[in-house]
Amino acid sequence: MSQENAGVLPAVPVLVIGGSLVGLSAAMFLAARGVGCMVVERHPGSSPHPRARGVTQRTLEMFDTAGLRNLPEIPSSFPKLRRVRTEAMVATPIEEIDWTPAGAVRPPPAPSTPRSPHTGAAVAQDQLEPLLRQRALELGATLCLGTELVRFEDREDGILAWLKDSQGITRTVRASYLIGCDGNLSLVREALGITRQGIGVLQVMRSVLFRAELERFRGGIGQWEIQQPDLEAFLAGYGDGRWVLMFRDDIDRDEAALEGAIQRAIGMPVPVEIITTGRWELTALIADHFKKGRVFLAGDAAHTLPPNRGGYGANTGIADAFNLGWKLAAVLSGQSKVSLLESYEEERKPIAWMRFQQIFARPDYARYADDALRETPLLDPIAVELGELYRSSIIEDSSSELPLARCPEEWRGQPGTRAPHRVVMRDGTAISTLDLYGAGWVLVSSSESWCQAATQIRERIGIPLSPINLRAVLGQDDGTLVEQDLGISDQGASLVRPDGVIAWRSSETDGTVETLERAMKVVAQPALSKSPHAHSHDRRRNTV
Ligand X SMILES: Cc1cc2nc3c(=O)[nH]c(=O)nc-3n(C[C@H](O)[C@H](O)[C@H](O)COP(=O)(O)OP(=O)(O)OC[C@H]3O[C@@H](n4cnc5c(N)ncnc54)[C@H](O)[C@@H]3O)c2cc1C
Cβ nearer to ligand X, comparing 183 with 416: 183
CA Rg value for the chain: 24
Task: Give the DSSP H or E segment for 16.
Answer: strand 12-17
Instruction: Give the one residue of 53, 294, 349, 421 binding ligand X; rule: CB under 6 A.
Output: 53
How far apart, in Å, are the Cα atoms of 501 and each of 64, 233, 386, 417, 462? Answer: 15, 40, 11, 5, 21
Cβ nearer to ligand X, comparing 315 with 336: 315
Pick from 516, 409, 413: nearest CA to 455: 516
Minimum distance from CB of 282 to ligand X (Å)? 7
Quick check: 325 binds ligand X (CB under 6 A)?
no
In whole angstroms, what is the distance from residue 305 CA to residue 284 CA?
A: 5
Cβ nearer to ligand X, comparing 51 with 82: 51
Instruction: Give the one residue of 280, 435, 458, 460 binding ligand X; rule: CB under 6 A.
Output: 280
Quick check: 313 binds ligand X (CB under 6 A)?
yes
Pick from 51, 68, 50, 52: nearest CA to 118: 68
Torsions phi, psi for 121 (to 5 deg): -135, 155
Quick check: 32 binds ligand X (CB under 6 A)?
no
Q: What is the DSSP-derived secondary structure letter of residue 341?
A: G
What is the SS3 assignment for 511?
Answer: coil
Cβ nearer to ligand X, comparing 395 with 405: 405
Pick from 246, 222, 250: nearest CA to 89: 222
Quick check: 311 binds ligand X (CB under 6 A)?
yes
| Encoded amino acid at 269, one letter | P
Pick from 199, 186, 193, 376: nearest CA to 305: 199
Q: Which stretch binds ligand X (CB under 6 A): 13-21, 109-117, 347-355, 521-529?
A: 13-21
Minimum distance from CB of 317 to ligand X (Å)? 4
* Binding footprint of ligand X, residue count (CB under 6 A): 31
Q: Which stretch binds ligand X (CB under 6 A): 180-188, 266-274, 434-442, 467-475?
A: 180-188
In whole angstroms, what is the distance from residue 334 CA to residue 463 CA?
A: 9
How do strand 223-228 and strand 196-211 relate by DSSP bridges? unpaired
Minimum distance from CB of 429 to ligand X (Å)? 33
Quick check: 297 binds ligand X (CB under 6 A)?
no
In whole angstroms, what is the distance from residue 264 CA to residue 486 CA?
A: 54
Quick check: 51 binds ligand X (CB under 6 A)?
yes
Instruction: Give the one residue of 16, 27, 139, 149 binding ligand X; rule: CB under 6 A.
Output: 149
Q: Which stretch binds ligand X (CB under 6 A): 76-84, 182-190, 435-443, 518-526?
A: 182-190
Q: Which stretch binds ligand X (CB under 6 A): 254-262, 308-316, 358-366, 491-499?
A: 308-316
Cβ nearer to ligand X, comparing 323 with 494: 323
In whole angstroms, what is the distance from residue 233 CA to residue 63 CA?
A: 33
Cβ nearer to ligand X, comparing 182 with 388: 182
Alpha helices in 312-443 (DSSP H): 312-332, 343-360, 381-386, 408-411
Cβ nearer to ligand X, comparing 190 with 255: 190
Quick check: 300 binds ligand X (CB under 6 A)?
yes
Minimum distance from CB of 439 to ligand X (Å)? 26
In whole angstroms, what is the distance from residue 421 CA to residue 386 CA?
A: 10
Cβ nearer to ligand X, comparing 42 with 421: 42
Quick check: 495 binds ligand X (CB under 6 A)?
no
Rounded to the nearest 10°, the torsion over CA 213, 219, 220, 226 is -80
Instruction: Give the one residue of 11, 14, 15, 22 binding ligand X; rule: CB under 6 A.
Output: 22
Q: Which stretch binds ligand X (CB under 6 A): 29-37, 40-48, 65-73, 518-526?
A: 40-48
Cβ nearer to ligand X, comparing 278 with 334: 278
In whole angstroms, what is the distance from residue 88 CA to residue 75 CA?
A: 28
Instruction: Give the one residue of 16, 30, 121, 187 binding ligand X; rule: CB under 6 A.
Output: 187
Quick check: 307 binds ligand X (CB under 6 A)?
yes
CB proximity list for 274: less than 8 A, separation 6 or greater: 208, 209, 210, 255, 258, 259, 262
x-or-dash string of contact with ligand X, 396-415, rule CB under 6 A: --------------------
Binding site for ligand X (CB under 6 A): 17-23, 40-43, 51-54, 148-149, 181-184, 187, 280, 299-300, 307, 311, 313-315, 317
